[in-house]
Structure 1
Amino acid sequence: MSADRVPLTRERIVQAALGLARQEGLAGVSMRKLAQELGVEAMSLYHHVPNKRALLVLMADRSLATLRPVDPATPWTERLTGLLQDIFHAGMENPAMISVLVAQELDAPDVNVSGRSAIEVIDSILEILADSGLSAQDQVHAYNSLISLVCGFVLGPALALTPAPPNESVREQRRLSGAAVETLPALAGVLDRLHTADAAADLRFSLDLYVGALDRLAASK
């Protein structure tokens, strides 16, 4: 069946937008490109999705719905770390979700989401921080810092100055880099590890440090 004979629905639009985001990044998603992908006129999209902001919220909804429920019986530090790790993994699959959370898109009156909304996820994080015993101001500082931290780990590869070399040239790239920094002993000593960094492991390390510090701050009040 040709594209123009398949009914245009909100679900088709969102799925196509997610595909574009995976191929070209979030910046590559536009209503014009989306219309081309679906084989329709751009104006047809607006009968189902009122604007691009609404599209991002709907894209985020797909990943927000996959987040695991928070177990209130576990310590707040474990709840917070687990939820933020889940947000990271979902954001790696769908950067639109991170965009919505960072923008603190607390309300989208022209969009009816089918599952967990961004505002509910934000509330879940703040509820955990409230359980920590931190002051309201410290909760806000912690929330903004933690969301920025997760966002940085999701967007980090996209912000790299140069793309990662193909697999077959990784060894040669490391050798050349090592020669270039032979007069910089501290960098040379960890260069191989820098090339093989694991964003998920780095995030967990950072969260353990940050959430541990928040725990100590709360205990000192």
Structure 2
Amino acid sequence: MTPRTDADELTEQPRIPLSRRRVLRAAVGLIDRDGLDSLTMRRLAQEVGAEAMSLYHHVANKEAVFDGVVEVILEEIIVAVGKVEAPSPQEDWQAALRARILTAREVFLRHRWAPQVLQTRTTTSPVVIAYIDQIVAILRAGGFSFDLAHRALHVLGSRALGFSQELFQPDGAQSADAAAAVMMEQMADRFPNIVGMLADGVHEDPAGTLGFCDDQFEFEFALDLILEGLERRRAAGS
């Protein structure tokens, strides 16, 4: 047996202790790289260089992992929105809230699978509650009553967190050009208005989550309509 040398000891990397935080961050990295279906306890164990059974000391099961990765993403959002440069809510609540929501959206677009997981959770994370509490604080500072702030949250829905349903790309979706061509060829007689809209507005957007239009523009367009409408209600004292 070859004796160990001082050089061997110096080059040997210290073992990073396993922790819940490390397991969850590894899960986020695995899903980012290989997709939601890639997450199994065995694959996750391989990611952290441990035995699968070791994970159960930190996460009870796969559902607990999903609960945890939602926390990781939301904590990433909290950090990101904490760095946003925007007017104070008292000065311009719309600009303050808009900047916050679009910053949260940037995080979700880095983890496009996260909205799907978030919407399947059966309990609300305290981190989500903290985030929403801060949105209510912005609305209140901007002159909203609690009643109108409550209504605003209902209107914003998931947009308050920076995503909407159209973030989800159907599995096996065709390219924009092919999908539009099929629609216009097969359904022109039955759905002339939809076909006309597609013919007028559809274009290829490979970088977008929808694939057939500028989804960032559409998200901001809808968000601005909501914020402008809420401001009219606030100013009217509704």
TM-score (norm 2): 0.68
Deviations 1:187-209 (A, max 9, x none): 12221434522221111111111
- Which residue, 153, 172, 187 being the options, matches 1:181? 187
- Which residue, 152, 170, 186 being the options, matches 1:142? 152
Preserved contact between residue 155 and residue 226 of structure 2 (Cα < 8 Å): no
Change in CA separation of 1:15 and 1:64 when aligned onto 2, cut-off 3 Å: same
Residue 109 of structure 1 is matched in structure 2 by none
CA positional deviation for 1:152 = 8.7
- Which residue, 186, 208, 215 being the options, matches 1:199? 215
SS in structure 1 of the partner of residue 147 of structure 2 = helix
Structure number with larger C-alpha Rg = 2
Higher relative contact order (CA 8 A, sep 6+): 1
Percent of residue pairs identical: 25
Distance 2:146 2:160 in 1: 21
Distance 1:137 1:163 in 2: 43
SS in structure 1 of the partner of residue 213 of structure 2 = coil
What amino acid is the match of 2:79?
Answer: A
Deviations 1:126-166 (A, max 9, x none): 11111232221221221243132356945434363x53325
Distance 2:213 2:107 in 1: 19
CA positional deviation for 1:12 = 4.1
* Runs of 4+ displaced beyond 6 Å: none
Residue 56 of structure 1 is matched in structure 2 by 70
Preserved contact between residue 32 and residue 42 of structure 1 (Cα < 8 Å): yes
Give 1:55-204 correspondences, 5 Å limit.
55-67=69-81, 68-69=83-84, 70-72=86-88, 74-94=91-111, 95-96=113-114, 99=118, 104-106=124-126, 117-149=127-159, 153-158=163-168, 160=170, 162-165=171-174, 170-183=176-189, 184-192=191-199, 193-194=201-202, 196-204=212-220
Preserved contact between residue 150 and residue 203 of structure 1 (Cα < 8 Å): no
Residue 111 of structure 1 is matched in structure 2 by none
Distance 1:188 1:175 in 2: 9
Distance 2:159 2:181 in 1: 31
SS in structure 2 of the partner of residue 75 of structure 1 = helix
Match status 1:14 vs 2:24: yes
Change in CA separation of 1:32 and 1:57 when aligned onto 2, cut-off 3 Å: farther
Distance 1:126 1:7 in 2: 40
* RMSD of aligned alpha carbons: 3.2
Match status 1:213 vs 2:232: no
Change in CA separation of 1:36 and 1:197 when aligned onto 2, cut-off 3 Å: same
Preserved contact between residue 14 and residue 58 of structure 1 (Cα < 8 Å): yes
Deviations 1:11-58 (A, max 9, x none): 542332112332323x76454542244342233224445643344313
TM-score (norm 1): 0.72
